[in-house]
Amino acid sequence: MTEIEGATGSRIVAVVPTFRPDEALLVGIRALIPQVAAIIVVDDGSPDDPAGILESAGKLGCEIVRSPSNDGIAAALNIGIRMAIADSADFVLTLDQDTVLPGHYVSDCVTAFRIAAPATRLGVVCTDRINGQPSIPEHYTTEGLGLVREAIQSGFLISAECLAECGLFDERLFIDCVDTEFCLRIAQYGYRIAVGPGTDISHSLGDQVALRPFGVARRDEWGRPRTYEYHGPTRRYFITRNNTDLFLRYSRIRPRWVLSAIKREIG
């Protein structure tokens, strides 16, 4: 039993989907071990394990599941989540293979759940900062928790009740917009997403390139330089396809979100 589990009475199981993982996975796992009751690593069809990373993760105490095919991050997450729920998890923590958590991360997220009023209907707690970059909550609850509409799934602490009522991740999306769709869906069920006060994760966001149309630097409403992530053709296909899917799904019930998302995509 971890210290957090003993202090809160909550069983927390981490799920980490992987594809061709490197040493960063082991760094993240070592930081995670003291914070959760169990770690489930679901490999999404990696053709081999030449560096023995998955084998090493198993030796660290992780349960390793190797999918025979590459079915996407949503499918890998769902395999692990089902196992976690079957293992009596009260909360499921989802992480990318390159995410590293500070030692207090899980306890801070659990604290957010503990102080949230029942009327808040908290379903997910996410990180407050990514690589030191703060989130911008849309508003705050009476308990002082900052609420956001959407966040990246790496660092999600999701309640078992939320998963049972709202369902798991949408496997049709394969990779991109998986977290966004989940956030939008749980909102339809009345659940909210709070940032864990003071939480921060180390996480790779891909190749960030400055947005400079016609040589003019662009900044957002908070004065931060605008950047975009460079992606190859295949990844760009999934981004475009899945965004279009969500825009069509939510054009009537969340028109403001659709308009803001389109604006964000075109810079």
For the stretch 231-248, pLDDT in tens is 567 777 888 898 888 999
pLDDT of residue 223: 66
Does residue 148 share a domain with residue 108?
yes
Which of 28-37, 198-207, 215-224 is predicted most confidently?
28-37
Helix axes 233-250, 255-266, angle to 10 degrees: 160
Average pLDDT score over residue span 152-157: 97
pLDDT of residue 31: 97
d(CA 103, CA 106): 8
Buried b (16+ CB within 10 A) or exposed e, 249-258: ebeeebeebb
pLDDT of residue 217: 67
Q: Total structural domains in the chain? A: 2
Residue type at position 251: S
Q: Which residues contact 66 (CB under 8 A, 6 or more apart)?
A: 43, 46, 54
- Contact (CB, 8 A) for 91 and 160: yes
Average pLDDT score over residue span 110-118: 95
- Contact (CB, 8 A) for 57 and 25: yes
Q: Quick one: pLDDT band at residue 205, thresholds 50, 70, 90?
A: low
Does residue 138 share a domain with residue 18?
yes
For 183-193, write each residue's pLDDT tens digit.
Answer: 999 999 999 99
Domain end marker among 201, 219, 244: 201
In angstroms, how far is CA 84 from the centroid of its own chain? 16
Which of 4-8, 121-125, 138-142, 241-245 has the lowest average pLDDT? 4-8
For 62-99, write each residue's pLDDT tens digit.
Answer: 999 999 999 999 999 999 999 999 999 999 999 999 99
pLDDT of residue 263: 81
Q: Which two tokens stand for residue 13?
A: 């199981």
pLDDT of residue 33: 97
Does residue 245 share a domain with residue 158?
no
Average pLDDT score over residue span 120-127: 97
Alpha-carbon distances of 240 from 69, 75, 226, rounded to whole Å = 24, 20, 20
pLDDT of residue 82: 99
pLDDT of residue 213: 58
Residue 212 in 3-state DSSP?
coil
Does residue 230 share a domain with residue 184?
no
What mean pLDDT, rounded, does the chain reach?
89
Does residue 226 share a domain with residue 182?
no
Does residue 211 share a domain with residue 191?
no
Domain end marker among 201, 222, 247: 201
Does residue 147 share a domain with residue 80?
yes
Share of the chain above pLDDT 70, in %: 86
- Burial label for 221, CB within 10 Å (0-12, 13-18, 19+), is exposed
Does residue 154 share a domain with residue 78?
yes
Average pLDDT score over residue span 247-251: 90
Does residue 105 share a domain with residue 224?
no
What DSSP line would sit under 114-169, residue for residue? Answer: HHS-GGG-EEEEE-SEETTEEP--SEE-TT--EEES---STTEEEEHHHHHHH-S-
pLDDT of residue 68: 94
Owning domain of residue 66: 3-201
pLDDT of residue 43: 98
Does residue 237 share a domain with residue 155?
no
CATH number at residue 16: 3.90.550.10
Closest CA to 193 of 125, 105, 120, 119: 125
Does residue 128 share a domain with residue 91?
yes
- Within 10 Å of residue 231's Cβ, how many Cβ atoms? 14
Domain end marker among 150, 168, 201: 201
- Within 10 Å of residue 30's Cβ, how many Cβ atoms? 12
Which of 91-100, 120-129, 232-241, 251-260 has the lowest average pLDDT? 232-241
Does residue 154 share a domain with residue 106?
yes
pLDDT of residue 220: 64
Asked whether residue 218 carries a pLDDT value surpassing 70, the answer given is no
